[in-house]
Structure 1
């Protein structure tokens, strides 16, 4: 009969392998000397926590990165969770913003150490330094210039001026638009490329 932790480890290993290229081999190398630690860590983090439904993968990875920076862990944990954070839909700019946010609560020395390590990690992954703005930043700037938006989008914003802006991936943002009613009057699905809004789809309730 399969032990519960062994089963969690197998599920976690499979999850990690789906997020990171060559992930299974990377785990084997990292925990070669202490495989029992690998079983415990991978089973807990990627077999159990990763599947909990209360947080989406992006939010969970952002929280994990904040905890890693706060604890001063700039070695393998930061490297691993940069990879899984990006694979879970965080943009490079959002990863950097987590470091900025953590500095105010965990102290600047730990945040600066993390930033120094991110320089090397970004370079190793071929990511631009500094990264382009986060998708949410790009969309907020787009919405702040009414003359720059398409006519249909301008009409929606004029009719429903209160907005909630939420990134859902490294290149997409949902803008929920409200008028006087508690229910939204429209939703904008924005696709972002670099520092530009590439396209906007407008959805209205029937």
Structure 2
């Protein structure tokens, strides 16, 4: 299963999401191991590893996109956590989610804010 894309992707996933990302991959091993491999290779090995944007900007873009989708709360929480790991402040995350109200509607922004609130609470509880 390991190859250059996979190894690069796994390293990038760990850099961004730490244990949270690894848990997502582990949860797929018994049902869709090929999908877990693709998830590591393509988004993290190919896209996140490209030059041109730093991880902070990439994670803010993902938080915006997942908020706008309005139906991806588990993934949004993982990426809010990832955004915090790569240096995004709570204020930056809240602002990007609030901006999505203009493009995706208030319900999507509200759902995003509630997801952020949960992530921030867990973060505060763990110091």
What TM-score range do you get, normalising by the shorter chain?
Answer: 0.7 to 0.9
How far the C-alpha of 1:65 sits from its partner, in A, is 0.8
Give ranges in structure 1 of 5+ residues lacking alignment.
128-206
Q: 1:23 to 1:117 in 2, by over 3 A?
A: closer
1:90 alignment partner in structure 2: 88
Q: Is the 8 A contact 1:31 1:37 kept in 2?
A: yes
Whole-angstrom distance in 1 between the partners of 2:21 and 2:105: 34
Q: Deviations over 1:98-132 (max 9, x none)?
A: 101111011111111111222222111217xxxxx
CA-atom RMSD in angstroms: 2.2
Corresponding position of 2:8:
11
Deviation at 1:11, TM superposition (A): 1.6
* Larger helix percent: 2
Answer yes or no: is the 8 Å Cα contact 1:12–1:46 preserved in 2: yes
| Cα distance change of structure 1 residues 30 and 92 upon mapping to structure 2, 3 Å threshold | farther
Task: Say if 1:7 and 1:76 are closer, same or farther in 2 by CA, change over 3 A.
Answer: farther
4+ residue segments displaced more than 4 Å: none
**TM value normalised by structure 2:** 0.83
TM-score (norm 1): 0.54
The answer to whether structure 1 residue 65 and structure 2 residue 89 are counterparts is no
Change (3 A) 1:23 1:124: closer
Report if the CA contact (8 A) 1:72-1:114 is conserved: yes
